[in-house]
Amino acid sequence: VAALFGIDLGGTNTKVGLVGPKGIINLASIPTRVDLGPQAWLERLIKCTGSLLNQAGIDPSGMQGAGIDSPGGLDPERTKIVFAPNLKTFNGYPLRDSVEKALSLPTVLENDANAYAYGEFYFGAGKGCHDLICITLGTGVGGGIIINQEIVTGPMGIGGELGHITVEPDGRVCGCGNQGCIESYASATGFRGMLAEALKAGRQTSLKAGDDVKEMAGAAGAGDKVALEMFDKAAVALGRGVASMVVATGIDLYVVGAGISRSFEPLMKKAFEKELKKRLCMADPALIRVVTSTLGNKAAVMGAAAWAARCLKLNWQLDITD
Ligand SMILES: [Zn+2]
């Protein structure tokens, strides 16, 4: 069996998958326990990969490598996390080399949104395409650009940070320090901020302080004006962002993933399409396909492994038409 480990490191849990060219063979999850530090995490990881192999009846000698993905900023060489607010004890830790040593397997590290994009490209909504852009609408807004089957990050390693495209020059302040990023509106953080502002302004709404995007989606579905406005703002931000991405890259396929993407079809698509049509004049907006993720929360673990297979030149057979 040709297989790799896919390791999706998150602030709370780490998903560990045994991934082959056709998809996930076996999947498990371990608590990350940031408070206990990366060394204790590595020990849990070793146990977990061992039992995954056992359960699948795969000989460890058949394993070809490991792909790991993590949130936050990575160094351009992809050896460590430079800054991830939810992974404090991992910041600066030599993550790639430590995993490589612990598992005795060649290991590739990539940003989580890039891994997500590659997963959708290889196994999911982009299967059969050469190019796509993936936008994850979660706590923040992540992005991944795949061009000619490669993750594009540029010499600075930050390419694909699509959540921080400016869509409202004087808009809401973003966690990155800029104003009016896509993330300022189309993320859970953005939604919570917009709700707090509406409540402070004394707007009439069924929502209350501390409500999450799920409650906001419910309220919008029931016709709550404030909730509907927030989804509209998020959709417009996304429409402006995608219009810019189209002219910057010429890519026609956009995959929307993570939590808020569940609200894309019912609550955002109409306003999104209207804004895209308004902003995109260099190309026919009807040529732009926007679809929701097909792999969901497995996209990153699958993409981390498939990307590692590509970086390690393992020659997985890609199912690309033409
Ligand atoms: Zn930003």
pLDDT at 85 (0 to 100): 86
pLDDT at 1 (0 to 100): 66
Gap between the Cα atoms of 23 and 2, Å rounded: 11
141 touches 147 (CB < 8 A): no
Gap between the Cα atoms of 170 and 167, Å rounded: 9
- Look up tokens 């590659």; give the residue: 118
Spell out which residues have Cβ within 5 A of ligand 1, the ion. 164, 174, 176, 178, 181
Cα 140 to ligand 1 centre (Å): 9
Cα 82 to ligand 1 centre (Å): 17
Cα 191 to ligand 1 centre (Å): 14
Six token digits for residue 57: 């009846």
Six token digits for residue 122: 């290889």
Tell how far CA 284 is from the center of its chain. Answer: 27
Strands of 71-187, DSSP E: 73-74, 81-83, 107-111, 132-137, 141-147, 150-151
Q: What are the mean pLDDT values of the chain's consecutive 10-residue runs (322 residues total)? A: 91 95 94 96 97 93 94 94 92 97 97 97 94 96 96 93 97 95 97 97 95 96 97 98 97 96 96 97 95 96 96 71 36
pLDDT at 321 (0 to 100): 39
Six token digits for residue 183: 């993330």
Cα 94 to ligand 1 centre (Å): 27
Helix (H) or strand (E) holding 96: helix 95-103
Query: What backbone torsions phi and psi does residue 34 show, to the nearest 5 degrees?
Result: -55, -35
What is each CA distance from 277 to 138, 242, 281, 282, in whole angstroms?
25, 11, 8, 10
Strand, helix or coil at 205?
coil
